[in-house]
Homo-oligomer: A and B are copies of this chain.
Amino acid sequence: MSAPKKVVLAYSGGLDTSIILKWLQTEYGCEVVTFTADLGQGEELEPARKKAEMLGIKPENIYIEDVREEFVRDFVFPMFRANALYEGEYLLGTSIARPLISKRLVEIAAETGADAVSHGATGKGNDQVRFELAAYALNPEITVIAPWREWDLSSRTKLLEFAEQHQIPIAKDKRGEAPFSVDANLLHTSSEGKVLEDPAEAAPDYVYQRTVNPEDAPDTPEIITIGFEKGDAVSINGEAMSPATILTALNDYGRKHGIGRLDFVENRFVGMKSRGVYETPGGTILLQAHRGIEQITLDSGAGHLKDSIMPRYAELIYNGFWYSPEREMLQALIDKSQEHVTGTVTLKLYKGSVFVVARDSEHSLYSEAHVTFEEDAGAYNQEDAAGFIQLNALRLKLLATRDRRLKG
């Protein structure tokens, strides 16, 4: 590849991506376009604009966008239709945000005539893979610059030196090293590294930033009702809301009740295990609620098929293959299943837990007439079960007969 001339950088406004910005200018001598997205990480974006300007980015090269609705509508919600959990537990809060960022990077590159994109993910993690696979899938000609894999700023000291050398302002609290690393968006906050690196040591309390400690949560449970249409949450307690508004509201409920904490050791795509602490307050509520509404509206054949492909679907998202044919094929399968996943679920929130206590739907497949312990007026003929069992048993009997014959 020839040297890139113009690069779109995923820019947070923080120290690390500011250093990257300057490094791209000095190392590659190329024009830099910054993209700063509001994914619900809870930080002001305007300071990022000021900082970019201060670092010499032309105003027309500064992109700052609120993508929260797109994030929830087109990424989070489709994923939740699948009840996706990576390795049985992780709600994929970081994984699902990366493809959206790459999509905008590539789009902005097209708009601004840039031939490269750049990100601040290290060479050890999953995010580099997610950013880059998405970028290449959307533009096979794009160049991706991953400074952490390239430069020699391999220690905190060298980074700070580089910053000072290039007049990048360093906030006082950034002089020392952070005790762990954080990523946040509307779906979750993840923490990893440093004080969390020994999985045999409990995580310190101060790692949790997004939720109250369950022990400090209210002593009284709270009951909420979530409405669904075709698999997506559309209302809370009867009030219709947009996707991002719903997730924001659920985050508030979850934060208050200490819901969605996870201390987890996972397998990275790049081959190593890592330990993280995740806080997914609203998502944890949403997952339970979605399962609750599926319980009465989803057929068993559909549900079991969904369950069987879910681990693969979650793995694809975790590994960065959102923009792959197989993720899209699985999405088609999942979406097809959600046509009747409509109704309401009532949940109890209490000190770290979410319980489904009731579900109701016009689309329910639950038939009290069939299941009742009372007289069922012929809805179900118990004698059918005898034939059902006999034919299910037939092959088992033939197996047992063979065993007897061979031993015999």
Task: Assess whether B366 is in contact with A275, with CB atoms less than 8 Å apart.
Answer: yes
A91 to B47, CA, bound (A): 50
**A88 partner residues in chain B, CB cutoff 8 A:** 83, 291, 307
Most chain B Cβ neighbours within 10 Å, of A132, A335, A366? A366
Contact of A355 among B136, B263, B273, B300 (CB under 8 A): B263
**A264 partner residues in chain B, CB cutoff 8 A:** 295, 356
Task: Assess whether A329 is in contact with B336, with CB atoms less than 8 Å apart.
Answer: yes
Task: Assess whether B399 is in contact with A391, with CB atoms less than 8 Å apart.
Answer: no
A285 to B359, CA, bound (A): 26
Contact of A362 among B270, B362, B398, B406 (CB under 8 A): B406
Pick from A56-64, A231-239, A368-376 the stretch touching chain B. Answer: A368-376
Contact of A385 among B140, B149, B301, B396 (CB under 8 A): B149
Of residues 188 through 202 on chain A, the ones whose CB sits less than 8 Å from some CB of chain B are 193-194, 197-202
Q: A136-B396, A271-B393, A398-B140 are in contact. Are A214 and B128 (CB under 8 A)?
A: no
Per-residue interface assignment for chain A, residues 70 to 90, with 1 indicating a CB less than 8 Å from any chain B CB and 0 otherwise: 000000000000010001110
Task: Assess whether B302 is in contact with A308, with CB atoms less than 8 Å apart.
Answer: no
**A324 partner residues in chain B, CB cutoff 8 A:** 299, 301, 396
Query: Does A154 make an interface contact (CB < 8 A)?
Result: yes
A123 to B387, CA, bound (A): 11
**A193 partner residues in chain B, CB cutoff 8 A:** 372-373
Of residues 388 through 408 on chain A, the ones whose CB sits less than 8 Å from some CB of chain B are 388-402, 404, 406
Q: A336-B332, A365-B395 are in contact. Are A124 and B296 (CB under 8 A)?
A: no
Contact of A140 among B296, B306, B400 (CB under 8 A): B400
Per-residue interface assignment for chain A, residues 321 to 347, with 1 indicating a CB less than 8 Å from any chain B CB and 0 otherwise: 101111011101111110010000010
Most chain B Cβ neighbours within 10 Å, of A267, A381, A384? A384
Of residues 283 through 322 on chain A, the ones whose CB sits less than 8 Å from some CB of chain B are 291, 295-296, 299-312, 315, 320-321
Task: Assess whether A149 is in contact with B83, with CB atoms less than 8 Å apart.
Answer: no
**Minimal Cβ-Cβ distance residue in B for A353:** B352
Per-residue interface assignment for chain A, residues 216 to 234, with 1 indicating a CB less than 8 Å from any chain B CB and 0 otherwise: 0001010000000000000
Closest 10 CB pairs of A and B: A387-B387, A123-B382, A271-B394, A267-B300, A384-B387, A265-B295, A140-B397, A200-B360, A302-B325, A301-B326
- Can you give 11 contacting A-B residue pairs, CB < 8 Å? A87-B303, A129-B385, A129-B389, A199-B295, A263-B357, A271-B392, A273-B367, A308-B312, A323-B396, A328-B336, A384-B388
Contact surface of A with B, Cβ cutoff 8 Å? 83, 87-89, 122-124, 128-129, 132-133, 136-140, 146, 148-149, 154-155, 181, 193-194, 197-203, 214-215, 219, 221, 261, 263-267, 270-275, 291, 295-296, 299-312, 315, 320-321, 323-326, 328-330, 332-337, 340, 346, 350-353, 355-360, 362-368, 370-373, 375, 380-402, 404, 406
Additional pairs, 5, CB under 8 Å, beyond known A267-B303, A271-B392, A383-B387: A123-B384, A123-B386, A140-B401, A271-B398, A380-B394
